[in-house]
Amino acid sequence: MKIKKILFSQNRPENIERSNYAELVKKYGVQLDFFKFFAIEEIPYTEFKKSHINLLDYSSVIMTSKNAVDHFFRMVKDSKTIMPISTKYFCSNQSIAMYLQKYVTYRKRKIFFPEDATVESLVADIEHHHEEDNFLVPCSADSSLNQLLQFLDAKTNIQYTRAEMFKMVFPVLQEHINIYDYDMIVLFSPHGVQALFQSYPDFKQPENMYIATSGKRVLEMALEAGLKVEIWAPKEPNITSIFTALDQFLHRTNRRH
């Protein structure tokens, strides 16, 4: 089936004309629409103070997302805290580790991330330091989908504190879009999967609708929810991004002669 309309569950990127999205339109003649399935709202520092968490009590901070990084350093600023240069940062992957450069001098900090970007490897790194460090995990008020926290909870030897610094807000999708208008939906976050079924509790994937996912955890969540996923990234041996996966798929279905 030829793909005509694709919905990306994220905000429309700036300078889209120079992006990978524009290449998909040019090569395959598809219509691309964008709508973020969820929003992130900050928890004000005045509310965070009620948790009685003193940031300086923690020698290590575990970062599971760029949102966690942004809101942690927002709290650092709002609380007028200066984090010691000795603070360790354990990051879920290299991308998050590099994102820390927005707030700290990378080469002067103790920053760790697993080369294979797996939760298991990250927890193993944390275990090496569990006797000497106090761990803080900046997270959302709804952290039920945070796979790392599930792993940490199963490790009785690792003591950590959850620091709720932001929250997820889910719009009623039907008020903004009709997902059944699309031949393909591309999901970028486990919260996107959650938002889909929150708005459509009885959602049944039509036979003529393709689901694409970006990220290992998103794929797992989509499959657990009963979705049929035919396009995903990363995927061995050489599909490292969702754009590569989409390009290969559309080449088969929409190739222009």
- Please give the pLDDT value at position 257: 40
- Please give the pLDDT value at position 155: 85
Residue given tokens 């709202």 in the structure block: 41
Q: For residue 177, what are its two tokens?
A: 């879009």
Residue given tokens 């609708």 in the structure block: 209
**Using an 8 Å Cβ cutoff, are 100 and 91 in contact?**
yes
- Please give the pLDDT value at position 106: 83
- Please give the pLDDT value at position 256: 53
Global pTM reads 0.81
Q: What are the structural domains, with CATH classification, of the chain? A: 5-38+171-253 (3.40.50.10090), 42-167 (3.40.50.10090)
Dihedral of alpha carbons 65, 111, 42, 120, sign = positive
**Using an 8 Å Cβ cutoff, are 24 and 241 in contact?**
no
CA proximity to 117, closest of 140, 98, 145: 98
Q: At what angle do helices 190-199 and 216-224 cross, to 10 degrees?
A: 30
**Using an 8 Å Cβ cutoff, are 90 and 125 in contact?**
yes
3-state secondary structure of 161: strand
**Using an 8 Å Cβ cutoff, are 231 and 8 in contact?**
no
Query: How far is residue 219's CA from residue 233's CA, in Å, rounded to a whole number?
Result: 9
- Please give the pLDDT value at position 162: 96
- Please give the pLDDT value at position 48: 97
**Residue-level pLDDT, tens digit, the chain, 257 residues:** 799 999 999 999 999 998 999 999 999 999 999 999 999 999 999 999 999 999 999 999 999 999 999 999 999 999 999 999 999 999 999 999 999 999 998 888 899 999 988 899 999 999 998 888 899 999 998 876 688 898 998 887 899 999 999 999 999 999 999 999 999 999 999 999 999 999 999 999 999 999 999 988 899 999 999 999 999 998 878 888 999 999 999 999 987 54
CA proximity to 50, closest of 75, 82, 67, 77: 75
End-to-end CA separation in angstroms for the chain:
16
| Helix (H) / strand (E) containing 233 | strand 229-233
